Amino acid sequence: MRTAETLSELVSSALAAAQESGSLPPSGDAAVNIEKPQLAEHGDFSTSLPLRLARAMRMSPMKIGEMIAEAIPDNDLLKRVWVAAPGFINLELSDDFLRGQVATILSAGEEFGNVDTGAGQRVQVEFVSVNPTGPLHVGHTRGAVIGSGLANLLEAAGYEVQREYYVNDAGNQMQVFNDTLYARVMQAAGHDEPLPDPAYPGEYLVDLAERLYARHGDALLSRPKAEVIAALAPAALESTLELIRDDLDELGVRYDRWFSEKSLIEDGQFDRAIKFLEARGYLADREGARWFLSTRLGEEKDNVLIRSDKGGPTYFGTDFAYHYDKFLVREFDRVINVWGADHHGHVGRMKAVARALGREPDDLVVIINQIVSFKEGDRAVRFSKRKGVILTVRELLDEVGADACRYIFLSRSPDSQMEFDLDLARRQSADNPVYYVQYAHARIRSIQREAARRDLDYAAGDVSNLRHPMEMELIKTIIRLPDIVHHAATRLEPHHLPHYAYDLAKSLQRFYEECRVVSNDPGDLPVSQARLLLVDAARVALARTLVIMGMTIPERM
């Protein structure tokens, strides 16, 4: 299914054949790189293999290229193979091969674009995992989109994927949340209870406290603070998680599991993890605390797992136990965490954790997405959870829409410090690339509706009637999808998908401009039928790409 892979194998076998026949000297291992040239005159694909081999073979790249090209066996795939200075081999696909792809795509249907890169490897993608202390704010949108897009992508690439949200329902922030909640409930009951310091001062807890007070009444509040909190905390947590779930759901984000931090303590997983470290000599008691000796694993500093003052685990401590669970209990082949830039200082010690657990550091991949700055025109929009939420995910979705949000965040590399101009997002909404891509799909559907209206049956159409250059261009774009999925999944870079989607939409629109699909002339029927097959293949590829991106697929706009 992957054209580039097929060509790579073809060239590779040609090289081997040329070496076997003695026309080329041995060269050691050389990976055959297949690329898509920028200029059409350089073919559909090319390889710079001769240039790479020139030194080892002590021959001119042009000569090497000619020998390899000559050794490529007759095949149905290629129309033309030629060598171009300074030493490229250019490859052009045959029209028959391209036409034949239409049927291949249509029979693959919703499977089209899937590849076997992952070979069933079990991968976990953990993302967002924001403290459940209030609604998600805009800063969390990027990680949510990247994480879910990546998970979809890996699934398409043949990995067995689990999407997980780590619920920080233990620890200091939860304590602050509960203390604030208590104060707000007392306030709701008319008591003069001051906010704790620190506190979550946002409106969210005021509303939540009022709801809880309305449900429980005054009786509960006469009891000691700890009892009140114990009685209210579970409902408060559940209610907050529900809010987060709903926001993420609207953003097109689904999870397979919500993993409770507290459960690590209650189930004894934390203690087992500590014992594991102790047994391997990575644990030390110092200054009243228990330390992970990460310096033995190449880190600059050791890290505290259990605090000296309250005796409980640190955030790092439970995160260690959490990864103990991921790697040694659930045995994922690979664990991917999507974190914001403010967590990158945590990466090094978690890599050390992976090593301590007996895994390769690369089994743990941390994708850091740089912070997003939001602005409205010239005015910067600041937000901070501790000062109260200014702009929530919900508000962003109301303003811009889930599809546009996903497309915008997904199309940028996580490394880029992006700037999100809300004015621009609103103003340009009609000209946003996201609608261009979706419009292409709606247009295909419209063509198909027109064909149905005319009772034009094309199931038995003959693709040999496809002869226009734009038809060939469209097919070439469609069949790139499996290569794109492979490439993006290998590099864990979902941002290639929106760019491909745009290319595909562009290709479709150019085809549409030049090629009338549903013709009024009865003599054109065979061409119409063939083009309807082609259009349906384009629909399959476009829909598949949108699905992986987690976007909706409009029938009409």
Partner RNA sequence: GCGCCCGUAGCUCAGUGGAUAGAGCAUCUGGCUUCGAACCAGAGGGUCGGGGGUUCGAAUCCCUCCGGGCGUGCCA
Residues 297-356 that bind RNA (CB under 7 A): 304, 307-309, 314-316, 341-346
| Ramachandran quadrant class, 24 (left: phi over 0; alpha: psi -120 to 50; beta: rest) | beta
Q: Which is nearer to RNA, 195 or 447 (CB)?
A: 447
Q: Which is nearer to RNA, 227 or 371 (CB)?
A: 371
Check binding of 90 to RNA (CB under 7 A). yes
Q: How far is the CB of 221 from RNA (least distance, A)?
A: 28
Interacting residues with RNA between 4 and 43 (CB under 7 A): 33, 35-39, 41-43
The span from the CA of 473 to the CA of 467, in Å, is 11
Q: Which stretch binds RNA (CB under 7 A): 100-108, 248-256, 357-365, 434-442?
A: 434-442
The span from the CA of 217 to the CA of 454, in Å, is 67
Check binding of 509 to RNA (CB under 7 A). yes
The span from the CA of 305 to the CA of 352, in Å, is 13
Question: What are the φ and ψ backbone dihedral angles of 134, each rounded to 5 degrees?
Answer: 165, -175
Residue choice 433, 461, 494, 550 for contact with RNA (CB under 7 A) = 433
Q: How far is the CB of 253 from RNA (least distance, A)?
A: 20
The span from the CA of 497 to the CA of 407, in Å, is 9
Question: What are the φ and ψ backbone dihedral angles of 365, each rounded to 5 degrees?
Answer: -115, 125
Q: Which is nearer to RNA, 100 or 201 (CB)?
A: 201
| Ramachandran quadrant class, 455 (left: phi over 0; alpha: psi -120 to 50; beta: rest) | left
Q: How far is the CB of 267 from RNA (least distance, A)?
A: 19
Compute how many residues bind RNA; rule: CB under 7 A: 89
Helix (H) or strand (E) holding 340: strand 334-340
Question: What are the φ and ψ backbone dihedral angles of 36, each rounded to 5 degrees?
Answer: -105, 110
Radius of gyration of the chain (CA): 29
Q: How far is the CB of 140 from RNA (least distance, A)?
A: 12
Q: How far is the CB of 327 from RNA (least distance, A)?
A: 20
Check binding of 423 to RNA (CB under 7 A). no
Strands 364-369 and 334-340: what pairing? parallel
Q: Which is nearer to RNA, 40 or 219 (CB)?
A: 40
Q: Which is nearer to RNA, 39 or 214 (CB)?
A: 39
Q: Which stretch binds RNA (CB under 7 A): 113-121, 154-162, 168-176, 324-332?
A: 168-176
Q: Which is nearer to RNA, 222 or 520 (CB)?
A: 520
Distances in whole angstroms, Cα of residue 418 to Cα of each of 120, 142, 410, 414: 34, 10, 11, 9
The span from the CA of 304 to the CA of 316, in Å, is 7
Interacting residues with RNA between 181 and 220 (CB under 7 A): none
Interacting residues with RNA between 522 and 551 (CB under 7 A): none
Q: Which is nearer to RNA, 108 or 347 (CB)?
A: 347
The span from the CA of 493 to the CA of 169, in Å, is 31
